[in-house]
Structure 1
Amino acid sequence: MTKLSDNKEHQLRKRPSVAMSLMPLLVLVVLLTFVIRAFGSDSLAGASQIALLAASAFCVLIGMWRLNVPWASFEKAIVKNVSSVASAIIILLLIGALSGAWMLSGVVPTLIYYGMHIIHPDIFLVSSCVICALVSVMTGSSWTTIATIGIALMGIGRAQGFADGWIAGAIISGAYFGDKISPLSDTTTLASGSLGVPLFDHIRYMVYTTVPSIVIALIVFAVAGLLCDTNTAQDISTFALALKSRFFITPWLLLVPVLTGVLIAKRVPPIITLFLSSLMAVVAAVVFQPDALREIDPSMFKASMRCLYDSTQLATDDATLAGLVGTRGMAGMMGTIWLIVCAMCFGGCMSAGGMVGGITRLFIHMVHSRTSLVASTAASGVMLNIAIADQYLCILLTGNMFRDIYDREGYERKLLSRTTEDSVTVTSVLVPWNTCGMTQSTVLGVSTWTYLPYCIFNILSPIMSVIVAATGYGIVHRKPSADNTTEA
């Protein structure tokens, strides 16, 4: 009876037009435009969440009123979407705890102190990009890279006088490049595995688009590093002295990031790694920074707990250092988590109402050649990032929507898996309400709109994918046949 009822209900639903499918997105963009103008940097404190829920309500209204989609379908899709990011929410909370513990234990100040003496300002942006790329390749996680070494590089860059946008752009560009080509990356594995493409075939094929993109990015960062007006050696020395007077700087504190790296190399699950790393940092804080802990609370136990979950601030006369040593802990992640939940509501409503399929049809109708096929895939991936707000769902949806077309037209699946990564994985961080965009913005303390123009690699990747497709370099095209549809 239930299956028959579901089939009858499905038959009663109407298929939304492309224009109708785009309407909720248009409403969201308009609302966010007003929100950003009115609230500025405070837009993520609640107004953006309301905009997402309002756009979700508009989507439900269209679905129930014009498309005969019952509320139960929307509710089921929302619950499914929210549950899919449960582990990401736990990771976010642990990142908040880790960032607070690493700061107050002196781990980040130590990394910044030694980094300022090693990395020259002229090559800082290039060095940041390369360092994050190497760490991300080894860890397979852009999130972990940015939450650890990325935070330290932000502090070094600010001390050297670089604008936040340039620093965050170099960090994110390197981290996402490394994430894409790492065999340990979950998104890389997902993009290849979901389409039946061997993992290393997929990675080798991505080299055609990722290497030109990262080379151009490194050139831009090299030129920017030479042209940016940075602080003098005296200013940097003054900041280093202020850092050393506030924290006990010792090479022993580097054991925490080293041991964290060992856990990551052994592929210990991220949640366990972040928890153990935070615990090690708390122990280091008790041993090396007892005065800083007592400044937070006379009770060492309460101070240790507060550095994990609460906002803290240490007294200092240096304005730059004051902004650096302030921590937010787990509590600082709650706004981001709130935004993620609201974004998942919007994505669930778009899926249940059939709007995602409507947007996809818009791009499928544009397919007339190899170039237009890849361009349509890339554009669809970016649009799904905006609409669904979760890169994992977008990777699966993009692959599922285009796999039959690639098979029918005689193109290898690895062309689709590469284009999916070029358009979905790397652009997710550029969308303010996407899980990646919200996370990296919160972790680095830089607005998505601030760093977006400087994420050179992320911006170039989908464009490079289309350019390489236009040249035909490395692309195998077989004569379309009925056998293609069954090929893995």
Structure 2
Amino acid sequence: IGFTGSFEHDGANVEAVLEQIQLNFYISPVLLIVPVLLIVVIVKKMPPLPAILFGVLLGGLFAVIFQPDIIRNVAGDSHGFFMSSYVAVMQAMFGDISILTENEMVNELLTTTGMAGMLDTIWLILAAMVFGGVMESAGLLMRISEAIIKWAHSTGSLVASTVVTSIFFNITASDQYIAIVVPGRMYAKTYRERGYKPELLSRTLEDGGTVTSVLIPWNTCGATQSRVLGVSTFTYLPYCFFNIISPFTTIIIASINYRIRRIGEEDDRDNSMEVKDR
């Protein structure tokens, strides 16, 4: 994984790639305006859909202004410039794009399938969400998980039950959100009745549901990561140290009651400090 072994790279190949990029694209600091403005809208907490639309439109506009040769390359010469711009931007968003240069490595880098190439993953996500929603609405997931709660008597066992339930939902419901929301609803009352602060449940759901979702091949997160990285889930799984260790660490910390905060502790501490001040 990079701790040992030797790596060689050909400086000539790097120079050839850079040369082809400079020959085919307009490279300027002005193009950094797009990511900078995207960061601004994120900081301003613009809702996701408008922010994505803003980024897409801004990127398309900058492509039309600063990359006219690429626009003609993608759309062809059979259209006028304005029609070519529209065709190229739309094609880049949803379809196959292949920009040909004299370097095979650059050609591979500049070839993409757009949104159409992600349809397999999108179908899986939709199917997982529908399946999980039906299971939750029918009460089947709740019925299965309630049997686990009765065995949780201590802090460690309660946290372990929450982690196992989240992982179970990641495997069966195939969706990270269900693996977080459903156990959260199930265990919220139990955590509250036992006097634990909500942050304990929140942290446990994060360590049990969020980080393990990418380790399940048929989970929406695992499928997406596999598609983006171009490798199977089981190929990168052995190197996901944090994702594997995190659930066990959470259970161990809860078992020894290390910094497990309970409702009313801070209030009691504040009251005692006020008494001392008086």
> Could you tell me the TM-score, scaled by structure 2's length?
0.80
1:240 corresponds to which residue?
18
2:4 corresponds to which residue?
227
SS at match of 1:227: coil
> Of the candidates 461, 474, 478, which is equivalent to residue 246 of structure 2?
461
Q: In the alignment, residue 374 of structure 1 is paired with which amino acid?
A: V
Give the conservation status (yes or no) of the 8 Å contact 1:363–1:379: no
Shift of 1:393: 2.9
Deviation string 1:164-218 (CA, Å, 9 cap, x unpaired) is: xxxxxxxxxxxxxxxxxxxxxxxxxxxxxxxxxxxxxxxxxxxxxxxxxxxxxxx
Shift of 1:288: 2.3
1:218-297 to structure 2, matched below 5 A, reads 224-227=1-4, 229-232=6-9, 234=11, 235-297=13-75
- In the alignment, is residue 470 of structure 1 matched against residue 255 of structure 2? yes
In terms of fraction of residues, the more helix-rich structure is: 1
Give the conservation status (yes or no) of the 8 Å contact 1:346–1:388: yes
Give the conservation status (yes or no) of the 8 Å contact 1:390–1:434: yes
Indicate how the Cα distance of structure 1 residues 464 and 242 shifts in structure 2: closer, same or farther if over 3 A, else same. farther
> Of the candidates 80, 83, 107, which is equivalent to residue 322 of structure 1?
107
Q: In the alignment, residue 227 of structure 1 is paired with which amino acid?
A: T
Indicate how the Cα distance of structure 1 residues 289 and 226 shifts in structure 2: closer, same or farther if over 3 A, else same. farther
SS at match of 2:112: coil
> Of the candidates 184, 200, 204, which is equivalent to residue 419 of structure 1?
204
Say which structure, 1 or 2, has more relative contact order (CA 8 Å, 6+ apart). 1
> Of the candidates 144, 150, 158, which is equivalent to residue 373 of structure 1?
158
User: Unpaired runs of 5+ in structure 2?
Assistant: 264-278
Shift of 1:378: 0.6
Shift of 1:226: 4.3
Indicate how the Cα distance of structure 1 residues 451 and 275 shifts in structure 2: closer, same or farther if over 3 A, else same. farther
1:382 corresponds to which residue?
167
1:304 corresponds to which residue?
89
Q: In the alignment, residue 57 of structure 2 is paired with which amino acid?
A: L
Give the conservation status (yes or no) of the 8 Å contact 1:310–1:332: yes
- In the alignment, is residue 345 of structure 1 matched against residue 130 of structure 2? yes
Q: In the alignment, residue 276 of structure 1 is paired with which amino acid?
A: F
Indicate how the Cα distance of structure 1 residues 318 and 460 shifts in structure 2: closer, same or farther if over 3 A, else same. farther
* C-alpha separation in 1, matches of 2:154 and 2:62: 59
Percent identical: 43
Q: CA-atom RMSD, angstroms?
A: 2.6
1:393 corresponds to which residue?
178
* C-alpha separation in 1, matches of 2:8 and 2:131: 44
Who wins on radius of gyration, i.e. which is larger? 2
> Of the candidates 180, 203, 213, which is equivalent to residue 428 of structure 1?
213
* C-alpha separation in 1, matches of 2:63 and 2:188: 52
Shift of 1:332: 2.0
Aligned length in residues: 256
1:59-98 to structure 2, matched below 5 A, reads none
* C-alpha separation in 1, matches of 2:149 and 2:105: 51
Shift of 1:262: 0.7
1:406 corresponds to which residue?
191
Indicate how the Cα distance of structure 1 residues 271 and 447 shifts in structure 2: closer, same or farther if over 3 A, else same. farther
Deviation string 1:75-102 (CA, Å, 9 cap, x unpaired) is: xxxxxxxxxxxxxxxxxxxxxxxxxxxx
* C-alpha separation in 1, matches of 2:116 and 2:18: 29
User: Unpaired runs of 5+ in structure 1?
Assistant: 1-223, 479-488
Indicate how the Cα distance of structure 1 residues 394 and 253 shifts in structure 2: closer, same or farther if over 3 A, else same. same
1:193 corresponds to which residue?
none
